[in-house]
Amino acid sequence: MNEEFQKEIGIISQVNHKNVVKLLGLCLETKVPLLVYELISNGTLFKHIHDKGSQILASWSNRLRIASEIALALNYLHSLADPPIIHGDVKSVNILLDNKYTAKIADFGASVLISPGQTNILASKIQGTLGYLDPEYLMTGILTVQSDVYSFGVVLLELLTGEKPNSISSSGEKLNIIQHFISALETNNLFKILDFQAADEGEMDEIEVVAELAKACLNRMGVNRPTIKQVSDRLAMLTEHTQKSWTQQNNDETDYLLGETSTSSRKEVDQPILTPSQTVISFQIENYTDSI
C-alpha cells in the first residue's frame, strides 16, 4: 500500500460520527487495494444541487438541514475527534446523501491529523479542489481548520445559488461566483440569485442569516472567519426553529380540522412563535470577527 492510502486508512478508521461515511473494511485481494465503505444510495450533494430534476432540495428546510449536518460533521472532526482532523477537501462532491437524504462527509485523501498543541500544517504540496480552496492556504501553503471553514462557505453558497464555484456565463466568460454572491448580498439582491423560492417571510429571514454566515466563512483571512463550532451552533439553532414552526403549523391545522376549541388549544395557538429575525439574527453575525 502506498503512503497516501495508508494515511487515509489511519484517519478514517478512527472517525465515528453519523454524518461521516463509515469505513467497513479493506480489500487487499485486488491489484489495487480497495477501501470498503457503507453504501450511500442517493449520490452526491453536487448531483442534487446541479441536477434540476432533483426534488430533495426543492424546499429550504432540506437545504438548511443538510448544511447543518455538514457543519456538525466538521465540528466533530475539528473539536471532538482524537486527534483532531482537518478534512482538506470540503466540497459538494465529497458530501454524500444516504437513503434518508442524511448528509455524510466522505473522501479523506487530503485530510491531515493535528498533533496536540498544533494549530496549522505546512503542506508539502497543495491539495484540494480549485474553487473551494482557502485562498490563504493557496498563498502560504499553511493548512488550518479555518481552511475547512472557507470551503464550507463555498458549499453554503452553492446550496443557496445552485451555481458551481467555477461557473461559465452564457457568453463563455468565467464567473467569480463568490464575488457575485457577496455583491448581491450587499446590494439587497440576494433573492434574485437564489436557486429556489422561499415559502414565506420566516424562510426569507433564515436565508438571509445563512447568507451572512456564508459571507463570514468566505473572508479571505482565516482569523476573521467564524469557527466551525460557531457556524454549526447557528445552523442548529435555525434548524430547530424551523422544525418547531413546522410542528406548530401542523398542530394548528390538525386542531382546525378536528374543530378543537379547548382553552389549552387556544393558548397554544395564541402563543407567538418568534421569527428567525428575533431569535437568530439578534446574535449579529457581523460580530463574529470581534469574538474570534
Which residues are known catalytic residues? Answer: 89
Strands 95-97 and 120-122: what pairing? unpaired
Please provide residue 32's backbone torsions phi and psi, each rounded to the nearest 5 degrees.
Answer: -110, 125
- Read off the C-alpha cell for 121: 500544517
Q: Is 225:204 a contact under the CB 8 Å cutoff? A: no
Nearest to 108 by CA among 68, 81, 137: 81
Q: How far apart are CA 20 and CA 62, in angstroms?
A: 18
Secondary structure of 56-99 in HEC code, one letter for each residue:
CCCCHHHHHHHHHHHHHHHHHHHHHCCCCEECCCCCHHHEEECC
Q: What does each C-alpha distance from 196 to 41, 183, 192, 200, 273 come to in angstroms?
A: 24, 19, 10, 12, 24
Neighbours of 263 (CB within 10 A): 7
**Residue environment code for 201-210, b if the CB has 16+ CB neighbours within 10 A, otherwise e:** ebbbbbbbbb
